[in-house]
Chains A and B, each alone.
Chain A
Amino acid sequence: MSPYKNQVGQSIPKVDVREKVTGRAAYIADLSRPGMLHGAVLQSPYAHARIKGYDTSKALAVPGVRCVLTGADFTEHFMGAFIKDEGPIAIGKVRYVGEPVAVVAADDERTARRAARLIEVEYEELPAVLTPEEALAPGAPLVHEDLASYVKVFDAKFEGNAFSCTDLSEGDVDKAFAECDVVVEGTYETQAQYHLSLEPCGALAEVDANGRVHLWSANQSVFRVQANVCESLGLPMSKLHSMTPKVGAGFGNKMEAHIQPLVVALALKVQRPVKMILSREEDFEMVRARHPFKIRIRTGARKDGTLLAREVETLLDGGAYADDSPGVLGYSLLMARGPYTIPNTRCFGRVVYTNKMRFGAFRGFGNGQVAFAGEQQIDEIAHRLGIDPLEMRLRNAMRIEEPWFGGQQVNSNGLAECLEKVREKSGWGRRARPSRPGVKVGYGVAACAHISGLLATSAIVRMLEDGSFVLSTGATDIGQGSDTVLTQICADALKVTVDNVVCATPDTDGSPYNWGTTASRVTYTTGRAVAGAAEDVGRQIKEAAAKMLNCPVGDVELRDGGFIGVKGSNTTLPYAAVAGFTHWASGGPIVGSKSLIYDAPTIDPRRAVAIGLPFTRIGVFSFNALVVEVEIDEVTGKATVARAWSAVDVGKAINPRLVEGQIEGGIVQGLGFALTEEMVWDGGRLANPTLMDYKAPGAVDVPYEINSIIVEHPEPDGPFGAKGVGEISLVSVPAAVANAIFDAAGVRLHKLPMTPERVLTAMLGAD
């Protein structure tokens, strides 16, 4: 037998890799139940209209149709992570094109979809507001007349269509700007981006003989699904059993509810299992997308490059429902200072309702948008002052002991090392520009920080009769590999190999609470809970072994490979013996657990003022620096990223290969955001809800060289020092590409995506 190696720090293949590569992994669309019906949705053709009535008779007359539900069948129960403003279906009025207005369950999908088209809805069209500016205009129609009376989970500042306004400040900004030698100012605009999980959203619900609902769905949290379904249908949580099949990726789109409430409502009504899977267009039109931002930003520095002040104002399009918007707004403002020492910062932002689909959480959570603006300004100042942009960042990088904007303590900070690593590996400043006729080449750098954390999580580790373990956390593995990483943490803490630990599939009946697979949090928060539960188990193993060996607990220790040893001697006991003893003789089966909530305060009231901030405890900080090499075709304006170097301080890479996967995936998704992807509306309707017309990069469009560089500044309370990596590598991409475009062509782009037309127009304008 090969000697035992620590399980943490190894690039162990994903625990479910065989299932996936053999095509046997079951996703929501693969599931089926006996007697199952299929659901379909009728969507609103209007951006804003009052619903005057429904005629479902034609649909109900179609053979095979079992049930039709419309807004008239639902009583008003509301869900929403921050503001409870959303029912499971449009009730009374529709607020965006594509919004579900009726659902059908039928014997097969085709019948259901056909019947949905036969439902007649009488509308009275209302004036719509399609942009934040329209929504803020005096006398603008209100998207939600009842905003004031909605339940809100935080002290929301709202007015008219603006449903959340947040103000953050630190230092004396006006005074500081007066002391600056150089001040840059600009406005920036970012677009709506589609999450593009390869798997569209779907759900399957079944009601058992006791009236309890069993629900499988594409999700990022079985617990958020449970909460949303129960809130929006008025069900007690104990009535709903939420489970997960394999998930074909989630980038924020599957965290809060999508169609689960509708599928459950159908199943409750017909008392048969019902499955509904969205088409690609429906997934585009009715789930959620990244917030379009408008950003006005001003940054000032002294002649020597010392940053002194920054002021940011953002306006977010929130779409028709609040969803995660207040969180995205608040978080983006907290990140808008960037990872620099800028003693005087003031940020203000608003998010407003419009008659478009809801905008919500998306990898980066608002950080990529503000970084696009802020990181270009750091570059601009550097150029004005004749300082190398990377050097400029190093000089202003937050020092290790410094708190974050708002006052939160930062306990690990690898920013400077990230910057140094990308400088070294990319050959920054030393690289000869490969010149080809008609091609301009440039290099750009950007840096950022991102949190991992937020809210509650727990873990249970049970020792089985033979000495192996079951780990339950309730955290959905959305393809990123958290089951593997959590298994590694558990195995390592118990000094066994990963094949001695099985990670249970999340299930609200069987798993302990986990807020969700979001906010780059699973490795850090759930990992902490797993390490804690494993430690609890280890303690109990030692206690049982001490009893068996008749020695003090202090004399026994866990040994590599799953043994108990007596200190200073060769006496060992295999875990199996301890497990047998506790199961059959004394003490009882060993169960360890750990619950926690991230609770370090974000705002230190002695340093900062925060008004209308929806979260007050965000998480721990990861850091990133990115260098990209961009080639611009001089005649077409097409910018292509040829190479990228991304260094991320992840605290500790539990599984380096999976960390690299996250870095690469974030860069590719970030490149789509930076260069090609854009949801385009034609009036109230989405003009390009297909993968043909929505331009996500394909395999040939991404850099042939992405260099992922892992930096490890351990987080003191992270599991083995780890912190998150899920989102951060995306955040700096648009800014780094914009800075490289400037380096290559001398033009600054203020609007995403940086399409060939926009680059070319800017270049022609600059000539």
Chain B
Amino acid sequence: MILYDFDLERPNTLEEASALLRDKGADARVLAGGTDLLPNMRVEVVRPATVVSLGAITPRDPVRETDGTVRIDALTRLATLEGSDLIRAACPMLAEAAHRVAGNQIRQMGTLGGNLCQETRCLYYNQKHDYQFKAPCYKRGGEVCYPYPNNDRDTCWSVYMSDTAPALIALGAEVEIVGPGGTRRQPVEQLFTGSGLTPHALGAGEILSAVLVPPAEPRFGWGYHKSSRRGGLEFGMAVMAVGLTLDGDGATCRGARMVIGAVREKPIRLTATEQAMTGAKLDEAKIAELAAAAAKEINPLPHHGFTKSYIRDNIKIHMRRVLSEATARARGTGTAENGGHHD
């Protein structure tokens, strides 16, 4: 139950929504599927005085534009994504990532934009009701950080847990943002500040309008894995996404994007490991070496009861599987839905 009072607005277009957001300032939030915002309002991690519902705006189905880019409205439901023939053919990693979110009921409500703009999470003091009898932590405007008492007030190590963001970054996707100054595009990566306090780099009145996934290059392959304790209805302990392309020899890596989610305040690109990969022949030994390098490069925050070393070990193990899958798909020896480079 949300205990405090707030106003509700229901604009008919994103532009109207943006204007409302700007007028109301920092005290307003947009509501898409509400599966993240409403629970957070309940525990008062956020307390928007005005909720700007996007419920009156109907998203268009994902489309392929003439240059091959796939355009997905931010309001597209996750369930639509996982079931879309276009998405499954053109960017199957995104379909897989969307499928890994929560459970079916939540995917029926939750949107892609909401998934990207979700709050960071921390087991201490912002996931449950005891804000009622505990002084607020930094993230809620208070004077303390409970799990990391030595942190200063500008540091919050809450974790960003979107399952789709790592996939989108590994696919080189962009977001389209509607704001007071019109529309702009930027890589998904740049949506994040890296601060747990204010994880998203959106200006006043800015709303995600779409996600744009570029066409896959020849010999592109992907791998994705979400580690979690249970099989469903579960946030990640670590999420791994890799997109890579191979040279004509079918073995040498021409370029790669390697992203880890759910371990830090934002999804982390492992640029050193990506560089080490580029130009390397991806055989089994190399893959094992790269997975180890990835685990070393990442510096996960211990979170939700998982220790840093356990998360690292897990990444080392699963990154190997993820890289093997990506390589196999790039070679065309993977599973049927291999990377969409044929179309």
Contacts and interface: CB of A to CB of B under 8 A. Distances in A.
B332 to A, nearest CB: 23
A687 B123 contact: yes
A117 B130 CA distance: 11
B307 A676 contact: no
Contacts of A760: 310, 313
Interface string A728-767: 0000000000000000000000000001110010000000
B100 to A, nearest CB: 12
Interface string B301-318: 000111100100110010
Given A113-B3, A695-B230, A636 B314 contact: yes
A680 B305 contact: yes
Contacts of A693: 123, 127-128, 304-305
Contact of B124 (A281, A682, A756): A682
A701 B230 contact: yes
Contacts of B232: 698-701
Contacts of A151: none
A701 B130 CA distance: 29
B49 to A, nearest CB: 16
A198 interface: no
B60 interface: no
Contact of A690 (B124, B127, B134, B231): B127
Nearest to A697: B230
Interface string B116-157: 000000011001111011100000000000100000000000
A110 interface: yes
Contact of B128 (A114, A117, A689): A689
A685 interface: yes
Given A109-B1, A110-B3, A757-B310, A117 B132 contact: yes
Contacts of A699: 232
A42 B133 CA distance: 9
Given A110-B3, A697-B230, A279 B129 contact: yes
Contacts of B276: none
Given A110-B1, A687-B123, A697-B230, A692 B132 contact: no
Nearest to B305: A680
A601 B129 CA distance: 48
Given A45-B134, A636-B314, A636-B317, A676 B229 contact: yes
B307 A44 contact: no
A688 interface: yes
A266 to B, nearest CB: 19
Nearest to A676: B229
B129 A281 contact: yes
Given A109-B1, A697-B230, A690 B128 contact: yes
A635 interface: yes
A281 B123 CA distance: 14
A43 interface: yes
A214 to B, nearest CB: 26
Interface string B90-129: 0000000000000000000000000000000001100111
Contacts of B123: 687-688, 693
Interface in A691-716: 692-693, 695, 697-701
Contacts of A114: 3
Contacts of B317: 635-636
A279 B132 CA distance: 13
A693 B232 CA distance: 13
Contacts of B233: 692, 698
Interface of B: 1, 3, 123-124, 127-130, 132-134, 146, 227, 229-235, 304-307, 310, 313-314, 317
The 7 closest A-B CB pairs, nearest first, are A700-B231, A45-B133, A635-B317, A281-B129, A698-B232, A700-B232, A701-B231
